[in-house]
Chain A
């Protein structure tokens, strides 16, 4: 067994939420607010439905091949050669998406907190800690997440609550009429791409103690993530209004900046940094783990640990080379990425795989 760990349903839900929320929390408000203005919450609702659908596909597919990860069962569906090819693409995909996450992470820290520090310092440090976690297996970063997860939720709730004096819900009006359906649909793409990272369940499912809880995990974690995204979006819009929000890179940071309490609790941006760094550690670890596990299964190795270092080096190099600047990265994430992700690895491919599995009679009536 490559990965000996098993995680229970509660741990999996927490892991899936932390895998999506911290990054989405920081970026989604801006993009959605930019495109859909005050109606962005409708886009978020739409994206929740999309993510639920994709989560359903991923879990349904996994339940047909219990005990196998995505990288293994594509071979069963598509045959050895084509399967190997697709599995390889998925490994590349996990490296690509993780490189983007690492880059986002570094860019945020450089832009928002420490502009004079080279970005590679941040990326190397977080990669080193992730590598340590990944080397020790799924159970370890799941346990780390069990401590981080409540901290993230509490921080989001408390900072939102503290910012309420500055909020004005009238800024959410008028609903719908001003923008119309097209911007709302457009704005739904990015959060949907983010939340459909739930596809990770297709890799994770063999390591769940209760495999049948897959649907529950997908639905619960998507709903929790969605709720928190909507809270943060509504809070942001109610505080600043859609025009201002759309122009910022990190609206969540500004939402926290407005907090003034008793002339002592102010400038709480550092809490955002804490949540962000801690959440990013878990997120990067999960994707890192998927990439490492995937390559080990693709190469049919007995142990994935020798691959941790090489994959880490590839991740580091890729994350630096992929984009020239933070603007380049954000334009890519805001425009090209969501349709690409949704039509291929985080949606389209899975639908095709599911269809192929059904057609090729791999159903086998096994649950």
Chain B
């Protein structure tokens, strides 16, 4: 592999001109080495052994590559060879549809057709190979790319073209229930690590020729397949152009997860807030596409990105749209409230305890004061310590092996709860507060909750120094920051700021489906209307007459 992977040099990370296949990868030719640029321009020779020799040189020390040379049927004038990667290509397909077809079934065809060396290629292609997907290439690079992505390449002696058989079939996870985004009502399947399976999951939701899935390869070393999905006619063409441009600009050695791409294409790289959405639910992605968004799928990860991402989506979940609208609206309000709690509760508590005791009703103040009497720490230290303890527990909870996880979380809960209070280190009120804050941060989208969790800490410091005024200043700064953000050109706080009256049907409340007749204005502006007017169910007209 060492020859194929050439060291990345700093100057290669410039804005490269992209080639037609959206591979977006450019390489400098290097003498005495088969770099990718060389390979794409190197033609196959007519001689089988020369080709094999070159390929073996390129794929030297790759123990998982298999070369199988054989003769065509009984006719030993026509030499053939297949090359594939063990474990990536389906062996049964190889033996049934390629080797069996060419070695054993060939005589059935040969009886009627006269085989010669010259016609062999076309006849093999047209009459013998029974694989579903068949391409051809005349470059060495094409062969290598195909082999390494799981296809089987068939070389025919005397021909400068190689046949690429679509035989990708490796071991992968089955489509299972989503682990991180769970719903009570709604489809349960989640994306897996194989790109093709993921695109099929989307295609199964949207049976429409306008659902387009464009492919490209990113990452100079990893050559990861990336797909861009959108619905033509709904999506804004400018958005697609913009997404493509940003993807083509990417010039890195590896793409192992959507997060790599996310950080390379987002509008505000320094912001703590995510401006790209990711989910592992196909129904969510389908809904996003139908609102006029674009989805980016990456091979090797079950997380699919969609853009543009608006802050309000942190509060929207697939289930909202499956459950009754009144119930969903109530849930939205709960989430909004929980978002505010998880951002502000500790700092407001610190501010009130430290500076604004007069705001509390007397009885509540007395009870809080009684609790805190024995506590040796100032409120801010206490809350900071507890919040950090909670973050440690949460982090440990994710990282721990499943067998010990349970035990640790119980012990942890006891330590930061019961024992700390008994020992007089913290007030019971603080424990309630920290627990509430922690739980509240799980009610809305995970990626937004990470940012909110982070921002909670500086606001607590502001609360401890300037009281509620500090809290307000912190919130205003966040608000100004949120207002500066855009996700692929769409203001982050849309449809609240800039205000879109129609958009309010899907913000704090979720209007019934018959009322949400339009897509969000700035996202789906290309094709706003999504349902006919007057869909509200009415009692049948006969009822009054009876």
List residues of A whose CB falls within 8 A of some B CB. 8, 10-11, 109, 113-114, 117, 121-122, 125-126, 129, 132-133, 136, 139-148, 263-264, 266-267, 270, 273-274, 277-278, 281
Contacts and interface: CB of A to CB of B under 8 A. Distances in A.
Interface string B463-475: 0001111001100
Given A263-B361, A267-B359, A146 B499 contact: yes
A140 B483 contact: yes
A143 to B, nearest CB: 4
A133 B480 contact: yes
B358 A267 contact: yes
Majority SS at the chain A contact face? helix
B476 interface: yes
B210 interface: no
B356 A144 contact: no
Contact of A278 (B358, B472, B499): B472
Nearest to B483: A143
Interface in B435-473: 466-469, 472-473
B230 to A, nearest CB: 27
B479 A147 contact: yes
Contact of A274 (B472, B480, B484, B499): B472
Contacts of A281: 476, 480
A266 B361 contact: yes
9 contacts: A133-B483, A136-B480, A139-B491, A140-B483, A141-B483, A142-B497, A144-B497, A148-B479, A266-B361
A319 B42 CA distance: 73
A114 B497 contact: no
B12 interface: no
Contacts of A125: 466, 473
A126 B496 CA distance: 24
Contacts of B480: 129, 132-133, 136, 140-141, 144, 281
Contact of B469 (A10, A109, A263): A109
A83 B407 CA distance: 78
A114 B466 CA distance: 9
B477 interface: yes
Contacts of A109: 469
A270 B493 contact: no
Which 9 A/B pairs are nearest by Cβ-Cβ distance? Answer: A146-B497, A143-B497, A143-B483, A136-B484, A140-B483, A133-B480, A144-B483, A277-B472, A267-B359
A255 to B, nearest CB: 17
B356 A270 contact: yes
Contacts of B469: 109, 113-114, 122, 273, 277
B269 interface: no
Contacts, number: 78
Nearest to B492: A143
Contacts of A147: 479, 493, 496-497
A142 B479 CA distance: 12
Contact of A10 (B361, B477, B499): B499
Nearest to B473: A125
A201 B14 CA distance: 45
A193 B430 CA distance: 49
A141 B491 CA distance: 13
Contacts of A121: 466
Contacts of B233: none
A106 to B, nearest CB: 11
A143 B476 contact: no
A11 B477 contact: no
Nearest to A135: B484
B53 interface: no
A143 B498 contact: yes
A144 B479 contact: yes
Name the residue in B468, B476, B493, B497 with the highest tally of chain A Cβ atoms < 10 Å from its Cβ.
Answer: B476
A271 to B, nearest CB: 10
Nearest to A264: B361
Contacts of B355: 114
A125 B477 CA distance: 10
Given A114-B467, A136-B484, A140-B484, A129 B356 contact: no
Contact of B473 (A117, A140, A277): A277
B468 A270 contact: yes
B479 A273 contact: no
Contacts of B468: 270, 273-274
A57 B341 CA distance: 47
Contacts of A267: 358-359
A123 B441 CA distance: 33
Of A113, A132, A144, A263, the most chain B CB neighbours within 10 A belong to A144
B343 to A, nearest CB: 15
Interface in B473-532: 473, 476-477, 479-481, 483-484, 491, 493, 496-499
A133 B497 CA distance: 14
Nearest to A125: B473
Contacts of A270: 356, 359, 468
Contacts of B359: 267, 270
A121 B496 CA distance: 31
Nearest to A278: B476
Nearest to B480: A133
Nearest to B356: A270
Contacts of B361: 263-264, 266
A138 to B, nearest CB: 11
Most buried by A among B477, B479, B481, B493: B479
A169 to B, nearest CB: 30
A68 B479 CA distance: 30
A205 B233 CA distance: 36
A293 to B, nearest CB: 18
B78 to A, nearest CB: 68
Q: Which of B467, B493, B496, B497 has the most CB of A within 10 A?
A: B497
A287 to B, nearest CB: 16
A277 B496 contact: no
Given A114-B466, A132-B480, A139-B491, 17 more contacts: A10-B499, A11-B498, A129-B477, A133-B480, A136-B484, A141-B480, A143-B497, A144-B476, A144-B497, A146-B496, A147-B497, A270-B359, A270-B468, A273-B469, A274-B472, A277-B472, A278-B472
Contacts of B497: 142-147
Contact of B477 (A132, A146, A266, A274): A132
